[in-house]
């Protein structure tokens, strides 16, 4: 963007040379106008970039509510668990959601600290996406216990996926 304004300034100078007589005052007005337009364009670009970062942070923060709810609900369930087996299953779910929350916090930190030219990498691995859908259905059903049930229909689909991004999308 800045380079385009520099080219514009050089083009004016090249065209004006020998054809138009411009005094110091005229060049000052041209320079001032181009500099002002450059600052305005950079300010607009910066505002858009900051707004995108805020939206990413808001989306990730919103997505963190589900694992937090599972962790809080699970802790309460352990306190009233009728058997050690139920308590162990619940503890396992708490652990997996705590790890998921840790990963989301890392993504949030990456999103808030990365520079515009750096792309946050996808963490691709091979797995069955249907299994992930089932996992999300199971977790959502536990969070909304007694209110709602989910069923994952379909066939296994093995492929290379970014688990955390797909989980968040689901």
Q: What is the mean pLDDT of each run of 10 residues along the chain (170 residues)?
A: 87 86 90 92 87 81 84 90 92 89 81 64 84 82 64 85 80
Contacts of 31 (CB under 8 A, 6+ apart): 9
**SS3 category, 126:** strand
For residue 142, the model assigns a pLDDT of 61
pLDDT of residue 54: 83
- At 119 the pLDDT is 63
pLDDT tens-digit profile of 130-165?
988 888 887 776 655 566 677 888 888 888 888 877
Per-residue model confidence (pLDDT) at position 108: 77
Cβ atoms < 10 Å from Cβ of 30:
16
Per-residue model confidence (pLDDT) at position 25: 93
pLDDT attached to residue 85 = 92
Bridge partners of residue 160, in order along the sequence: 126
**Where do the domains of the chain lie?**
1-63, 65-120, 122-170
Burial classification of residue 141, based on how many CB atoms lie within 10 Å of its CB (0-12 exposed, 13-18 middle, 19 or more buried) = middle
Helix H segments across the chain?
2-16, 24-63, 65-79, 84-113, 129-143, 163-169
Q: Please state, in angstroms and rounded to a whole number, the distance separating the CA atoms of residues 141 and 137.
A: 6
Report pTM: 0.47
């Amino acid at each position: 963007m800045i380079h385009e304004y520099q080219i514009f300034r050089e083009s004016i100078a090249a065209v004006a040379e020998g054809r138009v007589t411009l005094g110091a005052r005229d060049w000052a007005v041209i320079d001032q106008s181009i500099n002002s337009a450059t600052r305005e364009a950079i300010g607009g670009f910066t505002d858009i970039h900051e707004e995108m970062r805020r939206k990413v942070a808001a989306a990730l923060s919103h997505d963190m509510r589900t694992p937090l709810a599972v962790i809080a609900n699970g802790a309460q369930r352990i306190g009233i668990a009728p058997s050690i087996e139920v308590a162990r299953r619940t503890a396992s779910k708490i652990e997996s959601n705590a790890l998921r929350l840790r990963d989301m916090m890392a993504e949030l930190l990456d999103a808030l600290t990365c520079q515009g030219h750096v792309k946050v990498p996808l963490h691709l691995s091979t797995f069955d996406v249907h299994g992930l859908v089932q996992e999300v259905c199971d977790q959502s059903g536990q969070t909304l216990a007694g209110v709602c049930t989910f069923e994952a229909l379909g066939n296994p689909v093995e492929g290379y996926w970014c688990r955390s991004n797909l989980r968040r999308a689901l």
